[in-house]
Copies of this chain bind each other. A is one copy, B any other.
Amino acid sequence: MRDQYYEQLDVIVDELVLITDRVRTAVADATTALLDTDIATAEAVIGSDRGIEEAIDEVEERALVLLATQQPVATDLRQLVSTLRMVADLQRMSALAVHVSKIARRRAPEAAVPLPVQPLIRDMARVAHSMIGSAARIVSERDLGAAAELEIEDDEMDRLRQELFRVLLDGTWEHGVDTAIDLALLGRYYERIGDHAVSMARRVVYLVTGELPVA
């Protein structure tokens, strides 16, 4: 009975990691769509959200069935409940990749991101991508070292977003209000993607140490 439980739990964790990888790809593709003004890729990301949603529903269903049939207690229970919170994070990250793609699509054939700001957005996307990778590693291997690393990446993300605002607001902006608004929202989207990666990691830390890290 217990063996069966852990087998099922492993399946759920494996699926969570697979979905995390899909979300990571979606974020990378959304960034390509954005920086290369690549509408086909933007459409692909927007279309892929549905499949990710379905995979998420499946994991959620699987976790509920396991809860009902095996009735775990203590740490086992917490772990299963954590997976339910993590799927909510993944759902949001996928939706945020869609938001990024929609900005790319709306602005095409013009570039949504003016050339001088491209390195900054590329950096934010790179950090977000790396944070999702860290989150996947933490979920699959319970690697608390990666959790500490993730907090450092989160600080880097904060710094980049502040830098973005500095550029938008230093009085020399010459790309229009519409572009400034898109960039402010893009900054927010990448920051939120990172936040959700941190949230997933904190759930694992909580499971392992029994304590929620201070937010």
Contacts and interface: CB of A to CB of B under 8 A. Distances in A.
Interface of A: 53, 57, 64, 67-68, 71, 73-74, 77-78, 81, 84-85, 88, 165, 168-169, 173, 177-178, 180-181, 184-185, 188, 212, 215
Given A77-B67, A84-B81, A177 B185 contact: no
Contact of A177 (B57, B68, B180, B188): B180
Contacts of A180: 177, 180-181
Q: Interface on chain A toward B: helix, strand, loop, or mixed SS?
A: helix
Nearest to A184: B181
Please give the count of copies of this chain that the complex contains.
2
Given A57-B212, A64-B78, A84-B84, 10 more contacts: A64-B77, A68-B74, A68-B77, A84-B85, A168-B178, A169-B178, A177-B180, A184-B184, A184-B185, A185-B185
A67 B68 contact: no
A67 B66 CA distance: 13
A64 B88 contact: no
Nearest to A70: B71
A171 B61 CA distance: 49
Contacts of A184: 181, 184-185
Nearest to A68: B73
Contacts of A169: 177-178, 181
Per CB-CB distance, the 5 closest pairs between chain A and chain B, nearest first, are A71-B71, A181-B184, A68-B73, A177-B180, A169-B178
A175 to B, nearest CB: 9
